Every structure is written in C-alpha cells, then in structure tokens.
C-alpha cells in the first residue's frame, strides 16, 4: 500500500472538479504513463472506490511489459484491474483514430464488467492546450477551441486543471516511475509536433502563451456548454421545424444536429465537420426526401419540415412486421387512413418490387412507383418497407399517397373500405408528417 500524502495541487484539483461523486465507483483508464498513473494513485488516496482498465494496443514490441507494470501497481494499491489486448486489425483510417476506437470499445466493456458509474480519463491542462492548438491549426469552431470537454456521458476528466509538471512532482514525491511512451516524442504525429516544437517556439517568443491558450479554451468551454444545454432544451421541448433551424445561428444549429444524432444512438463525438456541414446545407434549402449518411449506419433526413436521424429498418424486420388488411363494405366515409376501392376487388398487402406502376387518381397517365414515392418525398430508406396494397398483381393503393384511378370507387356508390390494421405507429407517424392524402406529385390535397 502506498503511503498517503498531504493534499497537493493534483489532489485539490480533482476535488474541486466535482466530476466524481463520493459514492461513485470509478473505472480509471490507465495506459501506464505518468498522467494516468497519477490519476489512479490520486483517486485511491482520496478514498474513491476505484478499479483499473488497461488496454494493450499491441502496436510495438514489449507492450505487454507495460501491462505487467500496471498490474504490479494495482496489486500494491489493492485495486482490481481489467486488462485487454488488441487481437484484430485496427479499423481503416489513421492509426491514432483506430486505436482510440478500439480503446473506447474496451472501456465500455470494462465499465459494464465492474459496474462503474464513471470512467476517469487522465487528460491534463497541457493536453487541453495541445488539443485546442491542433483544432485551431485545422480550423475549428467553439467546440474545437475548448479542446476537450470535462465530461461526456459517463466519461470524466478530473485533471484538466492540472499541469504536466504538477503530475511529475506528484509522482516524484511518491517515488513512482511511470512508463514513458516513445510515441509521445514521435514527430510524425501532429500532437507530438505541437508539444515539442510549436508550443515551445511560441512560448519562447511570448512567455506564458500556453496559459493564455488555456484560459481561452476554458472560456470557450463555458460558452460551448451553454450552447449544448440550449440545444438539449430545444429538442426536449419538441424539435424545431426546419425553417426555424435554418434561421438559427450556426453554432446552435450544429449542436441541434449533434443532439439529434446522439438521441438516435449515435456515439459522441461521432460527426465530422463534413457531416455537420452536409446536414446544415440540407436544412438550409435542400429538398425534402433526401438525406445525409452518418456514422453507425444512421441517416439524417428531412420530411416536409420535420428533421430526424434514423436507423433504417433491417430487411428481416420488414418481413416480420408485415401489416394485415382490414377490408369491409362502406357507403363512403372520410377516414384518411383508408382507401375506398370499387366493390368486389380482392386485395392483399405487399412491398415494393421492380417494375411496379400505377395510374394515380389525381395524376395523369401511368407512373412508376419509384417516381411516385420520390415525388411524395418518401425517404429512400423507407421505400422498400412502405406497405403497398395490391389487387391481384396490380398496385391498387400506396397508403397515404395514391390510389389507382381505375380501382378507386365511383363517387356516390358503395365502396370497399381498405385499411392497414392495426396501423403501426411507425407508419401513422410517417403518413401524418407527409400529410394525408398526398398527390402523386408530392403536393398535399
């Protein structure tokens, strides 16, 4: 067991962050380096219920020795450890992004395994400054200038007010030597160039500029958190319509897009600037019925003035959820969720297939089903699962959109009342948003 020390800068900073509650179980992500080692020791000294997660990315020879050092430290502290090692190729893209992706996947598994309330990450004030400079070099908004948030979901960064020099002092007082990752000095990485070349050069010309960057990033963080809170409140009160979002200041509109994505199960951070720009272009004037493909198989789309992020239903789910028809005689009624066909027609429900056509009752001539769905602004990911009603092999009714002119009832005569029963909430919501009925040219009647 390590000897406890009197409160110092690092311990005080963690206390003052108030990111971890006294009753929380905390999973500490420990790479074996100085920052994460100091965070583990500090949280243990402060009396928190901690467990350790260590992930070996297996990117260099001898990395397993670091895992052994972490296990040894945890054994001295009496702290349980969950260790993992990468055994499959990294995702395509940059090595750093791929490593981050598999690391967070491991941390989620470890958090569930130990029942942790929070996952503590050991980013410091220096990391905050380096991140802000990197984002400024690439071009960024308010969210980039803040560097990184103090918390996001279960993930917390209680050392953002601690400088790397204070970390080394903390470890030196306790006689702890941590692993020094050579990648931190490898100038092929942009962050290493910022750390070892750009910031030292700026500091030489403008002493104290690092701390001024830090103050600017913290102020940006306050402003960004206010924007995020406003966006969440707007969505909770009912998502604003597209025209309203199109007229908003861009920073707030961007945060609304992020909230939509998050509420659809998208991981944060998950949207690139390219994704967000495409979404805003669609909001500001793109035609409804189109969309933007997003990470995680999700899609942003606009139907009328309604915006949403959806996960397209799997083909198997479409078959399982096949609706049934409710057919009865009717003298004529105003049920907008039903079609009124000529008596004696035998109908059944189905879905889109190649070659389908129809002569819509409010259109002119025969038209492809594909064109009817496009003109009615049915998003492409919904077209294969939109229920269709057939009379034999002939398309009789596209619910909410069009009825075949030759099969529609004659005014003043009895009819066959055809409805999807029960009408699933999914379809009812779509029909309600599109407007019922809708002409084959996409105009509400």
List C-alpha distances in Å: 227 to 23, 142, 220, 270. 30, 10, 11, 18
Contact yes or no for 35/159 (Cβ under 8 A): yes
Higher pLDDT, 428 or 262: 262
The number of beta carbons lying within 10 Å of the beta carbon of residue 326 is: 13
Residue with tokens 């000529």: 342
Percent of the chain residues topping a pLDDT of 70: 87
Contact yes or no for 390/346 (Cβ under 8 A): no
CATH domain 9-205 topology: Rossmann fold (3.40.50)
Higher pLDDT, 174 or 414: 174
pLDDT confidence tier of residue 431, bands split at 50, 70 and 90: low
What pLDDT, on the 0 to 100 scale, is given for residue 78? 95
Residue with tokens 């035998």: 346
pLDDT for residue 312 is more than 80: no
How does pLDDT run across 17-30, given as a tens digit for each residue? 999 999 999 999 99
What pLDDT, on the 0 to 100 scale, is given for residue 319? 41
As a whole number, mean pLDDT of residues 257-278 equals: 82
How does pLDDT run across 346-405, given as a tens digit for each residue? 888 887 877 888 999 877 788 989 888 888 777 776 777 788 888 888 899 888 888 998
What pLDDT, on the 0 to 100 scale, is given for residue 432? 56
Strand ranges of the sheet holding 338-341, from the earlier edge strand across to the other edge: 324-330, 415-421, 338-341
pTM score, two decimals?
A: 0.62
Could you tell me which of 281, 361, 15, 60 has the C-alpha nearest to residue 184?
60
What pLDDT, on the 0 to 100 scale, is given for residue 373? 84
How does pLDDT run across 43-67, given as a tens digit for each residue? 999 999 999 999 988 887 778 889 8
pLDDT for residue 343 is more than 50: yes
As a whole number, mean pLDDT of residues 246-264 equals: 89
DSSP percent split of the chain into helix, strand, coil, nearest 5: 45, 20, 40
The number of beta carbons lying within 10 Å of the beta carbon of residue 199 is: 18
Three-state DSSP class for 53? strand
What pLDDT, on the 0 to 100 scale, is given for residue 436? 45
- Token output for 321: 């959820």
List C-alpha distances in Å: 283 to 211, 232, 263, 422. 39, 18, 18, 33
Contacts 24+ apart (CB under 8 A), 383-386: 383/352, 384/315, 384/318, 384/351, 384/352, 385/313, 385/318, 385/351, 386/351, 386/352, 386/427, 386/430
Q: Give Cα 302 to chain centroid, integer Å.
A: 18
Whole-number mean pLDDT of the chain? 83
Q: Before 359, cis peptide (omega within 30)? A: no
- What is d(CA 142, CA 129) in angstroms, rounded to the nearest whole number? 14
303, exposed or middle or buried, with CB in 10 Å at 0-12, 13-18, 19+? buried
What pLDDT, on the 0 to 100 scale, is given for residue 419? 85
Phi, psi of 44 (to 5 degrees): -65, -45
Architecture, CATH, for domain 239-311: 2-Layer Sandwich (3.30)
Domain ranges of the chain: 9-205, 239-311, 319-434
How does pLDDT run across 154-167, given as a tens digit for each residue? 899 999 999 999 99
Q: What is the DSSP letter of 195?
A: I
Same fold, 9-205 and 239-311: no
What pLDDT, on the 0 to 100 scale, is given for residue 442? 38
């Amino acid at each position: 067991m390590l000897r406890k020390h009197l409160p110092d800068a690092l311990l005080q900073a963690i206390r003052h962050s108030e990111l971890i509650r006294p009753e929380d179980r905390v999973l500490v992500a420990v790479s074996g380096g100085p920052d994460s080692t100091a965070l583990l020791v500090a949280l243990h000294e402060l009396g928190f219920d901690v467990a350790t997660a260590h992930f070996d990315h297996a990117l260099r020879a001898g990395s397993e020795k670091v895992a052994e050092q972490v296990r040894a430290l945890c054994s001295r502290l009496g702290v349980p450890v969950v260790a993992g090692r990468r055994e499959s190729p990294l995702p395509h893209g940059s090595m750093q992004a791929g490593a981050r992706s598999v690391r967070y996947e491991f941390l989620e598994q470890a958090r569930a395994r130990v029942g942790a309330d929070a996952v503590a990450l050991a980013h410091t004030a220096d990391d905050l400054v380096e991140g802000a400079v990197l984002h400024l070099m690439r071009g960024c908004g308010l969210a980039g200038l803040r560097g990184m948030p103090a918390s996001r979901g279960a993930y917390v960064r209680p050392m953002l007010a601690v400088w790397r020099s204070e970390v080394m002092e903390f470890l030196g007082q306790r006689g702890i030597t941590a692993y020094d990752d050579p990648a931190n000095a490898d100038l092929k990485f942009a962050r290493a160039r910022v750390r070892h070349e750009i910031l030292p050069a700026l500091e030489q010309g403008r002493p104290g500029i690092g701390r001024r960057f830090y103050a600017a990033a913290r102020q940006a963080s306050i402003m960004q958190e206010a924007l995020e809170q406003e966006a969440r409140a707007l969505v909770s009160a009912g998502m604003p319509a597209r025209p309203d979002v199109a007229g908003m200041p861009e920073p707030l509109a961007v945060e609304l897009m992020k909230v939509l994505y998050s509420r659809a199960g998208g991981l944060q951070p998950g949207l690139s600037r390219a994704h967000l720009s495409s979404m805003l272009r669609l909001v500001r004037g793109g035609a409804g019925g189109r969309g933007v493909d997003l990470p995680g198989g999700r899609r942003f789309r606009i139907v009328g003035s309604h915006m949403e992020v959806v996960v397209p239903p799997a083909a198997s789910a479409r078959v399982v959820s096949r609706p049934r028809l409710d057919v009865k005689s009717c003298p004529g009624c105003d049920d907008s969720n039903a079609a009124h066909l000529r008596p004696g027609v035998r109908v059944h429900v189905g879905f889109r297939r190649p070659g389908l056509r129809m002569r819509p009752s409010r259109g002119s001539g025969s038209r492809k089903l594909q064109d009817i769905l496009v003109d009615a602004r049915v998003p492409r990911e919904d077209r294969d699962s939109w229920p269709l009603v057939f009379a034999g092999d002939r398309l009789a009714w596209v619910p909410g959109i069009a009825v075949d002119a030759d099969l529609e009832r004659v005014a003043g005569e009895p009819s066959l009342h055809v409805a999807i029963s029960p009408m699933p909430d999914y379809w009812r919501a779509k029909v309600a948003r599109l407007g019922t009925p809708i002409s084959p040219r996409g105009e509400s009647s």
